[in-house]
A and B are shown apart, each in its own frame.
Chain A
């Protein structure tokens, strides 16, 4: 990323924090990070979810079959044991362990790839586990041919190479390149991260101010607004192409809501002004409607026509007595 000489932590994409990769380290917990299937939207083939909303591993069945195919090695080990051949037993068990380890690596690689596919911006995993797993499958097959089957070196190596190639074709290669770093709209991962952090701080500020408001209907409206704001943030993180316009929207609307909420919370007991209450409630209703509207537009990828709406709301926020 850009070297600006500041002391800020380098940007670490969320996939990198778990699976290594550039910038890996203890990652911030991101409540927005989880990808969930949207209602009414059929999941893509790479985004399969089970009933609990957790991603299903694509390789689970196939990789278990791989271990099953290697299971005769365990019987060979037991046969060696019963024949009193300890070395033979150890060799056969070792070969089976290699296949099991390869399966484990492939499954881990599959999970890392799923995490990569989840994100709009992602770094590739540090170690290409699927590729290494496939190579281990090839090595285990070659050694099985050489030590177990005793078919000769060249045939064993050929068999191992064939098995490795078949494994690569079956399970695929790991993601090798970072995605989302170069964006046609000029949006960088750091911009996304900063915008979301700022917006999240404002949302938390609204929630803290709302806790001081005694009127339940007003608190309900505010909690709906903050919930919808978080939906918008989640949407931006998934698809940051509209970040510039959404950022301005979030800044003005959330800043306005935050200021209005704080001032109302401070003065709600002093004046007992029903007109102020009604104006604030009406303002919140309009904001809720606008937030819902903008979220729908983000979902359908419509261009957000913010300028007019922002100007209208800003003028209204200035005009309302609650802000004076």
Chain B
């Protein structure tokens, strides 16, 4: 796989996980 594509996918996964966890925490509190 293209290394750049892999890095981009990894970045998307990372941001997705962090954002989901943060939003879920906010939703849980709210």
Chain A residues whose CB sits within 8 angstroms of the CB of B22 once the complex forms: 69-73, 76, 144, 148
CB distance from B15 to the nearest CB of A (A): 5
Chain A residues whose CB sits within 8 angstroms of the CB of B18 once the complex forms: 66, 69-70, 99, 137, 141, 144, 163
CB distance from A210 to the nearest CB of B (A): 52
CB distance from B18 to the nearest CB of A (A): 4
A148 and B21 contact, Cβ closer than 8 Å, known pairs A72-B26, A79-B26: yes
User: Could you tell me if B15 and A141 are in contact, using CB atoms closer than 8 angstroms?
Assistant: no
Give the residues from 10 to 30 in chain B that come closer than 8 angstroms, CB to CB, to chain A: 10-11, 13-15, 17-19, 21-26, 28-30
Give the residues from 3 to 20 in chain A that come closer than 8 angstroms, CB to CB, to chain B: none
User: Nearest residue in B to A150 (C-beta to C-beta)?
Assistant: B28
A86 close to chain B: CB less than 8 A: no
CB distance from B8 to the nearest CB of A (A): 8
Kindly supply a per-residue 1/0 record for chain A positions 144-171, scoring 1 wherever the CB is within 8 Å of any chain B CB and 0 otherwise.
1100111100000001001101110110
A80 vs B23: C-alpha distance in the bound complex, in angstroms? 14
User: Could you tell me if A79 and B30 are in contact, using CB atoms closer than 8 angstroms?
Assistant: yes
A72 and B13 contact, Cβ closer than 8 Å, known pairs A137-B18, A163-B18, A169-B7: no
Chain B residues whose CB sits within 8 angstroms of the CB of A66 once the complex forms: 14-15, 18
Q: How many residues of A contact B (CB 8 A)?
A: 35
Give the residues from 58 to 88 in chain A that come closer than 8 angstroms, CB to CB, to chain B: 62, 65-66, 69-73, 75-76, 79-80, 83, 85, 88
A107 close to chain B: CB less than 8 A: no
Q: List 24 A-B pairs, Cβ < 8 Å.
A: A65-B15, A69-B19, A70-B19, A71-B22, A72-B26, A75-B26, A76-B26, A79-B29, A95-B25, A137-B14, A137-B18, A144-B18, A148-B22, A148-B25, A148-B29, A149-B25, A150-B28, A159-B21, A162-B17, A165-B10, A166-B10, A166-B14, A167-B10, A170-B14
Question: Interface residues, chain A, CB within 8 Å of chain B?
Answer: 62, 65-66, 69-73, 75-76, 79-80, 83, 85, 88, 92, 95, 99, 137, 141, 144-145, 148-151, 159, 162-163, 165-167, 169-170, 172
Question: Interface residues, chain B, CB within 8 Å of chain A?
Answer: 6-7, 10-11, 13-15, 17-19, 21-26, 28-30
The 9 closest A-B pairs by CB, nearest first: A148-B25, A169-B10, A72-B22, A166-B14, A69-B19, A76-B26, A69-B18, A149-B24, A170-B11
